[in-house]
Amino acid sequence: MLLSLTLSMLAIVVRPAPAAASATLSTPEIENPLMLAGESFTIDILVNNVVDLHSFDFVLNYETDILTATTIAVNPTDANGACYGFREITAADIDNTAGTAHVAANRGPSGEIIGDIFGIGDGVNKLFYLHYSRIGDRNGDGVVNKFDVTVYFDGVPQPATKIRDVLDTSGRVRFATALPAPPAGTILSADYLHPGLTTDANFPICSITFTIEARGYSPLDLQDVAVTDIYENPIEIEVTSGFFDNTFQGHINAPIYKDEALMPGSEFDLVFTAEKVRHPTWGIQFFLDYDTNVLAGPTYVAVAGLDLVTEEPVPIATVHFTVVAEGWTMLHIRDIAAVSIYGDALFFDSSDGLFASLNGADLSGRSAWPDTHQATYGTIDMLHARIATNATGTQLP
């Protein structure tokens, strides 16, 4: 009875084996309005969760109005830093007319070691030499990189065979067998296989350097991707394409306002708007310059507690002014600071506005106004304090 009760209280929990992580190939997402035309930057093409990667081949597409590619560099090292990475580059082609960068490389050839056989069994020696023909020659300088060699005695593979070293200057591979010395007349042969890349962390297989041509958005789009393992079998891989974006994350408009009825001493309000706000914005502040001989009012504007995302212009602040004298003045926005609901700094630009109270003032010829400009990003205490105290990424109250 006790045994039965005990067994009935037991529960067997079968946990499914975790799914194998998918191999991935990716380009980064770059969003930074402070990256300007004429500057250069480099991206890494990353592979992850891959086993025995031997070769890769892909085309990266980009917008040539925004970016031009300048150089391609294939990673010559492995995940542990040793110099036996992707040694054969079969494509590194840039086309800044089509907006493509084609990159292909592999870990080096595999096949038979060719050349004279120095190792013929005599029943005594365990140390033998085989010639090779520039196996894995990295730079055409006769330097040989790491590879795996299987040695055969009369066609039978010897798993206990140990590679002792590679003699680059003499063009020989030296190896020793842990087995008894091969009988006299035994023919020694070998084949070789370059090891594949295995990594469970993001590893840069190559990098591409770009020059920024203009402000805008460009995909970093991976196409025609093919990767293989050391046996030339295709590897199923998930491709994630990123982008480059140095456009501003929002825009503030100062109003253009003319009212001939306003006399010295008159009070009125002007509404400032925001548009093209792509990220949820909690607070915005800026300084406002104008001719104080014409207007009296605040020179600093701050709004907070927003949760603003909009493409079309929406009001964000109403500013009260008093007319000092008839005339006109520009309304110049500068030193904008903005912060998202998560405490991240955002970058806005602006358009200047205009106020006029002159009777019969003709402003039609002022076609240069409003003037869109890149703001300067001054340190403004309120928003930067919010950023500093909300580094955890939690939504601001």
330-387 pLDDT tens trace = 999 998 999 999 888 889 989 999 999 875 445 544 433 333 333 333 333 444 444 4
The structural domains of the chain, with segments of one domain joined by +, span: 24-107+197-245, 111-193, 250-359+367-389
Radius of gyration of the chain measured on its C-alpha atoms: 34
Q: Which pTM value belongs to this model? A: 0.68
| Fold match between domain 24-107+197-245 and domain 250-359+367-389 | yes
163 CB-near residues (< 8 Å, 6+ apart): 149, 173, 174, 175
pLDDT > 90 fraction of the chain, expressed in percent and rounded: 45
pLDDT at 67: 98
What integer is the mean pLDDT of 62-66?
Answer: 98
| Higher pLDDT, residue 395 or 320 | 320
Give tens-digit pLDDT for 205-224: 999 999 999 999 999 999 99
pLDDT of residue 281 exceeding 80 = yes
The answer to whether domain 250-359+367-389 has CATH 1.20.120.330 is no
User: Tens digit of pLDDT for each residue in 123-180?
Assistant: 777 766 665 554 444 444 444 445 666 777 777 877 666 655 555 445 566 666 666 7
Question: What CATH architecture applies to the domain 24-107+197-245?
Answer: Sandwich (2.60)
Among 98-107, 117-126, 242-251, the least confident range? 117-126
76 pLDDT band, cuts 50/70/90, is low
In this prediction, what percent of the chain has a pLDDT beyond 70?
67
